[in-house]
């Protein structure tokens, strides 16, 4: 008999499924924290939660029984996934459950903003009849910009097309074919869509790249009278930019369902005209709550009864012995993914992994998934790991393949990753393992070299002429940037070359501009990888 604890209130339909499940008994115990939560979790095989409970490392300390935690919803920030993995606990979520509700709420805000529904309603409550003051605008024939074309973004795009809107989209991980099926015109950068759109909605995670996506620096690029909607994560639009844009008239309206800090009851935006806000209601529908509850129960009962794992966000399902034998090359594949993601300014259309030597006899499917997880880690709203990374790429029309060869080449084992972009460019990087846990970059494009595959990598293309390396080193010295290691690969003496410097700290933009001013340096890319030995939580 398995025991399940339900830590937050979920829809009755989910509890009904637990009642009907054979070999499972459950308890609902909400509002637990601290020692009370730790003691409770130690008595159960599985747990279901929403966002109310915080499952920390301390909550799991000493736990030898809990096998799985299922989040009835998408975000798993309230669960310590690293601690869960170390305890052998699989963490799953229900990514599809609130898709339609969030897409519909996005449109509710767009329509409410366009037709001034909230202020017009308030005027009638105040016994005023003022049709002229609340003249609106229609959605038909307007252009909507969608940033993030995952499940929710695609559903929003479908509805926009039904409203006869033109849809412009940005997502580095959706194929041109899939976008065409949805009637979306893709752009290569978010800034490319800003002058074109009448409305903008974002459906991405909050990452360093998406934080302040609309800010005071790019505000002037927006079309006059644009309306902005955010049902994803607070902070994607800069509050200062929204206020400035509303005051100047550049922005005609703002609709927010999410905020930097929640709960949020105080904001200068709440006092401004043209603003429509709701308290994070994107997933707050009866249907969504029922769906995530039912899906969460199904995930947990299937796992406990059959061992089936779906929508896992960590790596507890992998056999510990297999994981230990693969860990070094899982790490290399993951780092190659992170590297190529940061080197590639274009959209990927396909990925290929080539395994040579001893590693070719291992479970290369896991290694390929590890590469995919690294490639998309900072670009997806879903949490990517070796369980779901390939599926996420395939959903966006990106082909993933691999091949193996027992031919060792120059090393006992190596992993090569190739990414083909929509511009027809192929980016290639190879890595190997020195010792048990020292990942090395041994090839970049057509250049052989040897560089540390960790920390801050300063990658620069240049002409192979005397003085380049000294010039770069002098500039770093002037800006107090220490070089830990350096490698250079070249096509031929006097030809093209690429340099990789491992730095102790990332250089400023001023430092980069200083180096770029050299006439023989043609391109610079800054790559930030985890420190040596630092593994993602699912590994």
Cβ pair 312, 388 in contact under 8 A: yes
pLDDT at 389: 83
The arithmetic mean of pLDDT across residues 134-142, rounded, is 97
The pLDDT > 90 percentage for the chain reads 76
Q: What's the CATH code, domain 2-95+287-306?
A: 3.40.50.720
Residue 505 and residue 333: Cα distance in Å, rounded? Answer: 24
pTM, to two decimals: 0.71
**Residue spans of alpha helices (H) in 307-363:** 320-343
pLDDT at 223: 97
Name the CATH superfamily for 454-528.
ACT domain (3.30.70.260)
- What's the CA angle centered on 422, arms 417 and 427, to 5 degrees? 25
CA-based nearest residue to 437, from 304, 513, 337, 327: 327
CA-based nearest residue to 310, from 387, 400, 370, 394: 387
CATH 3.40.50.720 domain span(s) along the chain = 2-95+287-306, 99-277
Candidates 151, 233, 338, 443; catalytic one: 233
271 annotated active-site? no
Cβ pair 413, 358 in contact under 8 A: yes
280 annotated active-site? yes
Candidates 280, 356, 396, 440; catalytic one: 280
Q: Is the pLDDT of residue 318 over 70?
A: no
Candidates 35, 43, 164, 262; catalytic one: 262
The arithmetic mean of pLDDT across residues 335-357, rounded, is 93
462 annotated active-site? no
CATH 3.30.70.260 domain span(s) along the chain = 454-528
pLDDT at 87: 81
Q: Is the pLDDT of residue 387 over 80?
A: no
Which residues make Cβ contacts (< 8 Å) with residue 340, sequence separation at least 6?
A: 375, 417, 419, 427, 429
Cβ pair 301, 18 in contact under 8 A: yes
CA-based nearest residue to 384, from 418, 326, 429, 341: 341
The arithmetic mean of pLDDT across residues 167-183, rounded, is 95
Q: Is the pLDDT of residue 300 over 90?
A: yes
Does domain 99-277 fall under CATH 3.40.50.720? My reply is yes
Question: pLDDT tens for residues 92-112?
Answer: 999 888 899 999 999 999 999
Residue 485 and residue 429: Cα distance in Å, rounded? Answer: 18
The arithmetic mean of pLDDT across residues 204-220, rounded, is 92
Residue 425 and residue 328: Cα distance in Å, rounded? Answer: 29
What top-level class would CATH report for the domain 319-445?
Answer: alpha beta
CATH 3.30.1330.90 domain span(s) along the chain = 319-445
């Amino acid at each position: 008999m398995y025991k399940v604890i339900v830590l937050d209130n979920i829809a009755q339909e989910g509890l009904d499924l637990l009642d009907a499940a054979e070999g499972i008994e459950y308890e609902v115990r909400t509002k637990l924290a601290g020692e009370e939560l730790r003691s409770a979790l130690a008595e159960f095989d599985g747990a279901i939660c929403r966002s109310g409970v915080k499952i920390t490392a301390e909550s799991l300390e000493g736990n030898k029984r809990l096998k799985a935690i299922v989040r009835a919803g998408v975000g798993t920030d309230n669960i310590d996934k690293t601690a869960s993995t170390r305890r052998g606990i699989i963490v799953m979520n229900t990514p599809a459950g609130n898709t339609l509700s969030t897409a519909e709420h996005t449109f509710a805000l767009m329509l409410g903003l366009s037709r001034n529904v909230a202020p017009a309603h308030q005027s009638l409550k105040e016994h005023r009849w003022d049709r002229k003051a609340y003249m609106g605008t229609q959605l038909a024939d307007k252009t909507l910009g969608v940033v993030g074309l995952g499940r929710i973004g695609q559903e929003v795009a479908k509805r926009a097309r039904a409203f006869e809107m033109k849809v412009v989209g940005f997502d580095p991980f959706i194929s041109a074919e899939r976008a065409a099926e949805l009637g979306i015109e893709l752009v290569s950068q978010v800034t490319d869509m800003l002058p074109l759109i009448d409305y903008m909605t974002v459906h991405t995670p909050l990452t360093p790249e998406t934080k302040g996506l609309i800010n005071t620096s790019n505000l002037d690029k927006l079309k006059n009278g644009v309306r902005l909607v955010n049902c994803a994560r607070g902070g994607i639009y800069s509050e200062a930019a929204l206020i400035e844009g509303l005051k100047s008239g550049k922005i005609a309206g703002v609709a927010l369902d999410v905020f930097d800090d929640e709960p949020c009851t105080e904001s200068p935006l709440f006092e401004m005209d043209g603003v429509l806000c709701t308290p994070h209601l994107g997933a707050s529908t009866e249907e969504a709550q029922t769906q995530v509850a039912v899906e969460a129960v199904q995930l947990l009962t299937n796992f406990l009864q059959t061992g089936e794992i779906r929508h896992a966000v960590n790596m507890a399902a992998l056999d510990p012995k297999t994981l230990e034998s693969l860990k070094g090359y899982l790490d290399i594949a993951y780092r190659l993914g992170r590297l190529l993601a940061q080197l590639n300014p274009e959209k990927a259309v396909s990925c290929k992994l080539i395994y040579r030597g001893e590693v070719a006899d291992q479970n290369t499917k896991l290694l390929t998934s590890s590469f995919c997880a690294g490639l998309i880690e900072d670009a997806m709203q879903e949490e990517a790991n070796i369980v779901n990374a390939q599926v996420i790429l395939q959903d966006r029309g990106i082909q993933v393949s691999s091949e193996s060869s027992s031919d060792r080449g120059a090393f006992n084992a190596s992993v090569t990753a190739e990414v083909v972009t929509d511009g027809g460019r192929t980016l290639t990087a190879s890595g190997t393992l020195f010792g048990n846990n020292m990942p090395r970059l041994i090839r970049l494009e057509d250049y052989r070299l040897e560089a540390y595959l960790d920390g801050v990598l300063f990658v620069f293309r240049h002409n192979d002429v005397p003085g380049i390396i000294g010039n770069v080193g002098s500039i770093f010295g002037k800006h107090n940037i220490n070089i830990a290691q350096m490698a250079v690969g070249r096509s031929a003496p006097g030809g093209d070359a690429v340099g990789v410097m491992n730095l102790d700290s990332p250089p400023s933009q001023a430092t980069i501009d200083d180096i770029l001013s050299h006439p023989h340096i043609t391109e610079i890319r800054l790559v930030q990888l985890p420190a040596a030995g630092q593994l993602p939580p699912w590994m």
